Structure 1
């Protein structure tokens, strides 16, 4: 059986491709090939051959249902990045063109780094630039829809996930070309002496669990699935969309070892401390993350402190790699549970790389470690029901199990994670380490993160490994953060040795724990994020962002416990000048938003939503609750005329098997979105449908999700009463009371709760808990009630906003 993913494929006729990017720097460039072994030659040759075929044939067209040839509207993306020290400033320009005889609305779903501070958007029509304004998201959507209806050209930029965005561009005139430019600031990753700049290029196909709730592919567990799953091109077919990337690095000191495991590059030395890097002309297909690495001269352990002040307060950023001596041979006995993704998106190269990585992990464990393997797709299966001792016989058993694994089914990561969290606890004196290997192609990101955040035991750690060319870095990074571990990404064609060695340096022991941050000085206290700094592992930096509202000078003291039990302490003195880097304020705002969003993995709350919205508006930042909108003053097309709407199709990530996700190419030939086949959005039952591997493993049952939602026995539990229901008619209120009567809580509980629901066509698509107006103290009861409300089907296809006040009466 093929796995079930939400995506639309297109049938295309090759007839050419857009122009190759033109770069401003036209002097001599030095080519640099990918910086790893020759295992990638086949993949690179296939991409280059596809690009060359497209150039030779002169254009790319889609075939609509009536047989008409249609050119895709997104022609080119140009990325210009400037790196100074630890910060990057990036401008992304998307060029859209209308090839039709009527006005066009283009909708493009694309990725950006998950911690980028997106603070600007503009559209360019001819010589005129229209700046985008930051608004609350629903207000921006309304402005955009009004402008579209009135015949004005409008652009709308929205955030769907921390790393998935939607650009909508309405009323592009026939034959017209319009540029949309998005700007953001980000911090560079730094580890093991390498700076790393990453630019993601494509949103990989997401597996959508749950029951279908409409014909657009949304489900009860991912009600916005249609917004994170762009149409996907079939294999060996191009849309004509290519990408150019130019990065200028100003390190202030000499730069060395510029390289990329993902792309062929060209470099040009600008002066002693500056270098320009761009994609090679034969590597411009946007189907994989650009990973650019380099080293600089000087002391890597020296702290970098950046400050800035304005009318919003004083802001600072600290980048610190503690200079700590530690014994690399110090060994803590570990109980390691490996969690392997064996769903359909892992078919081919990704699964082969995961197996290679697993073999290194098994053979690299310490003699006193114990281990097991859990593999998951639709269901979860384990090598053993108990941890195995690290003996030669058990290692051989594990390697044989790994060899027999194959890839099929949907990415039911929640099932796999629940199997891990339900695994017998580690024995006293052992550290439980969970090692996840996946591409992260799921739509229910928050659901999985919330499960780990809520249930991972203190002292346990989760390490995530993303395998593939365009993995879901948001999911992998956040799982590692809430799991107090680390995240790494390895391409399917990248050597595993260095990645495995780094992992074993980290998993044995963190080098700095119990980190505390305190502001010392007059005035109000500083707001520092993250509020609970993570433990640090070998070669890993501590990154802090802070704000001092009154701009009073002071000092930040960082304390911790170094490996071996020694105390660590460092002091940073700071003043705030208006001449500082304004990007620091944006990054603080983004760090605060990230912290607030992390409090809502299990569900939205009124106070956190308002705090995110206020921060985003104050710092002019894109967020889940704000959006950029730009509108032309003049009416540019006939408001009463015909308009086409095209969702821009995307490339399948390099190395991912189309057949492993969608089935045979011939099965997916429609151009326009079509309703999925019956049941296509439903995740299969854990007791059926999935094809499992003959690995000799132990079948694991899915954990019960519905805590506290069992049907009540007569006289048991307590009754939920609807006190107020703004927006609902009497019949709907009565239906809700009957629905809630089916669910039980602890009979000793009582209290009132207030909820805000957003309903579309009878389905609840958003549930917000009003934490300030509620008085029910039990967190599990609130979680259970949230799940109940999210699955309620409102009578008569109702749409609108509802505010509920419910009372849980003690039995």
Structure 2
């Protein structure tokens, strides 16, 4: 028998046999195919039974929670078995029966607790035999702040914290980096798009990008040799003209019944709404900004391996940028949470120099010392506070996100989405991708992932710019199709729109149309009192070589919506809705919470001796029983992940962040030695060139703006809001010496920045 075992006293961790031998996983092969923003991932896990008796193995796999698992098969010796999707309980019973009779059998089930966790059972692997498990899924790739598309291959199953007193409390599940296990990883990616592929980046070493055609619309890339699977593998893919709207029509499955989801064509529409410049040029100066920061023990982990900075330091840097960039006249408060929660002010206060400095002093002292990750109670307290008139609430959540009661938290965010927008930041590697994305989606905001310090600023600034945009209301989607074609929209209604961000729509097209026929989809909305619309005309002719990818993603979208609807029915799963999900899952071959993949070889073999492993539905509890002496999160995780760090390590080498930290709440800089140091000058040099008629604040502020425009234009999206705030402060002070200060500043810093470029 193989099981997940965690023992803090013995030093054993990861996947091992009952005799504490390493799990017989020999290698993992991953092939990624990206077509525009849709990824197909094929993973092959190779095993070998080195024991002298048949083996049953149970593994827990982290997969993207929004993925559509669409294929599962096994090659055991010379026998190939392909899994079918069946109702979950029937699949478990069939697995037990096959295992008892010695048949080779595999079972893949989605966790009842979370859709991003799957358990894989490999039953009756004969002595000395090898097995290859093939798992395939499709998923959409999220758009990042710099327009890159992000793909993440999780290296480990991360821990989940269950608050005391909630259902299923008292267990945790974890794993270890693959560097401590004997298996290897090979990873390759093929990228294609109607637009040229400009670059592919990764947090891991890559071989050079290889283009497959002259227009650079197809390319391949691989992980460099010698890679150790000791962290999540993150890939960022960049296209030219990334914000072009698209529509892909995919033909139905020939063998499927016409009129069914799989039998009819399905269209996937990607829209990138662009707001009028007149609205975007005037940034809002109001709002209640509530920051909720994770201070649980996991925030003491390094944000990036081989880096000194920890997640808590990254979160504090993020808070610094956010606080410095807030507009005068708004309100704010800061909450931090772990097993308990704290807030800096009893209620949100008006943003001023005094309140900002008071908040920053307390943020500076924050440590990852509040215990476990319990976010529900502080959220309840935030939502219980009355909203401030004419100050729309914007919630910013900074966390690693590993909570077990994620559904309860997500439901709470969704319930309160009419009174606020939620912007989430996943800090560090191995964050809970699905949870962080889901709370922002249900809260009408946007999610960002901070995996390295050099990428904090643009992501923070983009989210703040989104938060300062007025809320979009009266959203509607209309279709104009030939009269013989009808449309069934499969995507939940769009509830929020952000400037330049993708809005995805899946729809089933029923009826016959000519090859030359066209359709049109129109997205209408109202922004700051101005009605707007975006239109996309598209051909109804099915695209070639898409397989059934669009159908499977559409089925996954509909399945998730129906699952949520079933759960929302008075807190119980509605049996009728459950049946609909089961039928759709079986018809489409896509996983769901109510079904499982089961593959059985009809050949007979030697039965497994001894008690069977309990059904995968109880896998969380299996893990609990095997936790040994582990008492809490910290016992399990000390390993090599925690480091000690001092305040002096907080991004002191980043001059841009240093300049940001010196900005006053009002939007000006003061003439201090620290400012001169950032500018690369002495205090004497700065003072000597100051025009006599200029105040020290005006001179310092213009110098800072010139430095930003002269030396940091490649990072403009990181400081643009700060510069706008500073320019507004200068205009409000009606300084008569601006021209003279700009000329003197250029002379001092060796720049050629014009007054117009500074917004003056």
Same fold at TM > 0.5: yes
Structure 1 residue 207: Cα displacement = 0.6
Match of 2:714 in 1: none
**Structure 1 pair 505–578 and aligned structure 2 pair: CA distance change class (3 A):** closer
Q: Does 1:114 align with 2:57?
A: no
The question of whether the paired residues in 1 share the 8 Å contact of 2:17 and 2:23 is answered with no
1:646-661 matches, within 5 Å, as none
**Structure 1 pair 613–464 and aligned structure 2 pair: CA distance change class (3 A):** same
Structure 1 residue 557: Cα displacement = 2.9
Q: 1:475 aligns with which of 430, 435, 450?
A: 435
Structure 1: 5+ residue stretches without partners: 1-5, 15-59, 212-219, 649-669, 682-811
**Structure 1 pair 673–535 and aligned structure 2 pair: CA distance change class (3 A):** same
The question of whether the paired residues in 1 share the 8 Å contact of 2:248 and 2:543 is answered with no
**Structure 1 pair 590–184 and aligned structure 2 pair: CA distance change class (3 A):** same
The question of whether the paired residues in 2 share the 8 Å contact of 1:103 and 1:644 is answered with no
Match of 2:709 in 1: none
**Structure 1 pair 143–622 and aligned structure 2 pair: CA distance change class (3 A):** same
Match of 1:639 in 2: 607
Secondary structure of residue in 1 paired with 2:346 = coil
The question of whether the paired residues in 2 share the 8 Å contact of 1:64 and 1:70 is answered with yes
Match of 1:37 in 2: none
Match of 1:242 in 2: 184
CA–CA distance in structure 1, aligned partners of residues 581 and 591 of structure 2: 10
Match of 1:200 in 2: 154
**Structure 1 pair 12–171 and aligned structure 2 pair: CA distance change class (3 A):** farther
The question of whether the paired residues in 2 share the 8 Å contact of 1:76 and 1:243 is answered with yes
Q: 1:461 aligns with which of 406, 417, 421?
A: 421
Q: 1:181 aligns with which of 128, 134, 142?
A: 134
Match of 1:586 in 2: 552
Q: Does 1:516 align with 2:476?
A: yes
Secondary structure of residue in 1 paired with 2:469 = coil
Match of 1:378 in 2: 339
CA–CA distance in structure 2, aligned partners of residues 335 and 484 of structure 1: 16
Match of 2:271 in 1: 320
Match of 2:717 in 1: none
- The superposition leaves residues 240-270 of structure 1 with CA deviations (integer Å, 9 ceiling, x where unpaired) of 2332211011224432232124555553333
The question of whether the paired residues in 2 share the 8 Å contact of 1:332 and 1:509 is answered with no
Secondary structure of residue in 1 paired with 2:134 = strand
Match of 2:200 in 1: 258
Structure 1 residue 354: Cα displacement = 0.9
- The superposition leaves residues 467-521 of structure 1 with CA deviations (integer Å, 9 ceiling, x where unpaired) of 1211111111111121111111111555311111211221111585432112344
The question of whether the paired residues in 1 share the 8 Å contact of 2:394 and 2:423 is answered with yes
**Structure 1 pair 236–116 and aligned structure 2 pair: CA distance change class (3 A):** closer
- The superposition leaves residues 80-100 of structure 1 with CA deviations (integer Å, 9 ceiling, x where unpaired) of 011222322211111122222
1:664-675 matches, within 5 Å, as 673-674=625-626
CA–CA distance in structure 2, aligned partners of residues 294 and 675 of structure 1: 40
Match of 1:558 in 2: 523
**Structure 1 pair 129–286 and aligned structure 2 pair: CA distance change class (3 A):** farther
CA–CA distance in structure 2, aligned partners of residues 337 and 92 of structure 1: 41
- Name the structure, 1 or 2, with higher relative contact order (CA <8 Å, separation 6+): 1
CA–CA distance in structure 2, aligned partners of residues 584 and 674 of structure 1: 41
Match of 1:398 in 2: 359
1:273-292 matches, within 5 Å, as 273=216, 274-288=218-232, 290-292=233-235
Match of 1:795 in 2: none
Match of 1:734 in 2: none
**Structure 1 pair 585–413 and aligned structure 2 pair: CA distance change class (3 A):** same
Structure 1 residue 606: Cα displacement = 2.3
The question of whether the paired residues in 2 share the 8 Å contact of 1:13 and 1:62 is answered with no
Structure 1 residue 555: Cα displacement = 4.1
Q: Does 1:86 align with 2:86?
A: no
Q: 1:305 aligns with which of 227, 248, 254?
A: 248
Structure 1 residue 171: Cα displacement = 0.9
CA–CA distance in structure 2, aligned partners of residues 139 and 578 of structure 1: 37
Match of 2:238 in 1: 295
**Structure 1 pair 9–551 and aligned structure 2 pair: CA distance change class (3 A):** farther
Structure 2: 5+ residue stretches without partners: 302-309, 617-621, 634-760
Match of 1:619 in 2: 588
CA–CA distance in structure 2, aligned partners of residues 380 and 679 of structure 1: 22
**Structure 1 pair 271–619 and aligned structure 2 pair: CA distance change class (3 A):** same
1:311-710 matches, within 5 Å, as 311=258, 312-326=263-277, 327-348=280-301, 349-408=310-369, 409-423=371-385, 425-454=386-415, 456=416, 458-491=418-451, 493-509=453-469, 513-521=473-481, 522=483, 525-550=486-511, 555-562=520-527, 565-573=530-538, 575=540, 577=542, 581=546, 582-600=548-566, 602=568, 603=571, 604-636=573-605, 638-639=606-607, 641=609, 673-674=625-626
CA–CA distance in structure 2, aligned partners of residues 535 and 307 of structure 1: 27
Report how many aligned residue pairs link the two structures.
Answer: 592
- The superposition leaves residues 272-310 of structure 1 with CA deviations (integer Å, 9 ceiling, x where unpaired) of 32221122234331532x221232234633434333334
CA–CA distance in structure 2, aligned partners of residues 378 and 672 of structure 1: 20
Greater mean deviation of Cα atoms: 194-203 or 477-486: 194-203
CA–CA distance in structure 2, aligned partners of residues 77 and 463 of structure 1: 35
The question of whether the paired residues in 2 share the 8 Å contact of 1:156 and 1:169 is answered with yes
- The superposition leaves residues 579-604 of structure 1 with CA deviations (integer Å, 9 ceiling, x where unpaired) of 67321111110110122233345432
CA–CA distance in structure 1, aligned partners of residues 313 and 36 of structure 2: 37
Q: Give the TM-score taking structure 1 as reference length.
A: 0.68
**Structure 1 pair 551–622 and aligned structure 2 pair: CA distance change class (3 A):** farther
**Structure 1 pair 7–500 and aligned structure 2 pair: CA distance change class (3 A):** farther
**Structure 1 pair 231–644 and aligned structure 2 pair: CA distance change class (3 A):** farther
Q: Does 1:222 align with 2:182?
A: no
Structure 1 residue 543: Cα displacement = 0.8
**Structure 1 pair 370–444 and aligned structure 2 pair: CA distance change class (3 A):** same
Secondary structure of residue in 1 paired with 2:530 = coil
**Structure 1 pair 100–231 and aligned structure 2 pair: CA distance change class (3 A):** farther
The question of whether the paired residues in 2 share the 8 Å contact of 1:301 and 1:322 is answered with no
Secondary structure of residue in 1 paired with 2:489 = strand
Q: 2:6 aligns with which of 1, 5, 8?
A: 8
Q: Does 1:139 align with 2:90?
A: yes
**Structure 1 pair 486–607 and aligned structure 2 pair: CA distance change class (3 A):** farther
